[in-house]
């Protein structure tokens, strides 16, 4: 599997995370959940953040911790599958997390609370309420029927002359509650009319 080296060269990203070793089952749950809620991904254990191959000492121990995390710290449980690859005589454990069809997945934090995460660039970021709603509805085949009411029209007209809008701005524009504004955004994301951008600091929406 020569491609592991080229994967490492790409660096961490939306579908790739490096872990030198697994020390904390709770922390790793965040990465597992973010991948499952996104398009899936790979966790390379035995690789430092800068891409240096350190190798794993005991793959059985690492596997045990990852499975414990996937089954006990992720809800619904996640089923990763493993590959063992030698790179320059060092063992790298490849943890494959497929995209889930039972989204959203939540990870348990130290305060015993469950949170949903998604993957943005090379980070696992807390999913907003809007994104959680989108994840919940993403796999329902019923197809969202959009009737463009004045609210949707106002939003799209606004995005025509402005690059982006936040939930707060939308609720002000439509003079409606956050909850109602949220619902409009979720429906338009699901029908691919607008797109959500989330960073650790803010979330905004743009026309597709």
Q: What local confidence, expressed as pLDDT, does residue 2 receive? A: 47
**Mean of the per-residue pLDDT values for the chain?**
91
Whole-structure pTM over 0.75, yes or no? yes
Class of the CATH-defined domain 3-126: alpha beta
Q: Strand order in 74-75's β-sheet?
A: 74-75, 106-108, 114-120, 123-126
Please check whether residue 10 is in contact with residue 122, taking contact to mean a CB–CB distance below 8 angstroms: no
pLDDT 10s digits, 2-36: 488 899 999 999 999 999 999 888 889 999 999 99
Give the domain ranges of the chain.
3-126, 135-207
In the structure encoding, which two tokens stand for residue 87, read together? 């790179």
From the CB of residue 89, how many other CB atoms can be counted at a distance below 10 Å? Answer: 7
* Long-range CB contacts (within 8 A, 24+) of 171-174: none
pLDDT 10s digits, 43-54: 999 999 999 999
Please check whether residue 197 is in contact with residue 206, taking contact to mean a CB–CB distance below 8 angstroms: yes
The domain over range 135-207 is classified in CATH as 1.10.10.10: yes
């Amino acid at each position: 599997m020569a491609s592991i080296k080229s994967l490492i060269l790409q660096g961490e990203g939306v579908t790739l995370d490096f872990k030198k070793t697994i020390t904390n089952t709770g922390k790793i749950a965040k990465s597992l959940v973010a991948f499952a809620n996104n398009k899936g991904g790979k966790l390379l254990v035995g690789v430092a953040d800068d891409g240096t191959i350190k190798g794993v000492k005991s793959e059985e121990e690492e596997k045990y911790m990852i499975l414990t995390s996937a089954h006990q710290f992720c809800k619904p449980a996640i089923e990763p599958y493993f590959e063992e690859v030698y790179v320059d005589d060092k063992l790298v454990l490849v943890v494959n997390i497929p995209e889930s069809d039972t989204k959203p997945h939540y990870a348990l934090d130290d305060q015993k609370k469950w949170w949903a995460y998604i993957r943005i660039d090379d980070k696992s970021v807390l999913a907003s309420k809007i994104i959680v709603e989108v994840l919940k509805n993403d796999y329902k085949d019923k197809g969202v029927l959009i009737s463009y009411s004045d609210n949707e029209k106002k939003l799209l007209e606004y995005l025509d002359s402005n690059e982006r809008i936040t939930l707060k701005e939308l609720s002000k524009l439509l003079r409606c509650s956050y909850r109602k504004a949220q619902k409009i955004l979720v429906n338009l994301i699901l029908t691919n009319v607008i797109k959500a951008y989330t960073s650790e600091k803010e979330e905004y929406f743009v026309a597709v």
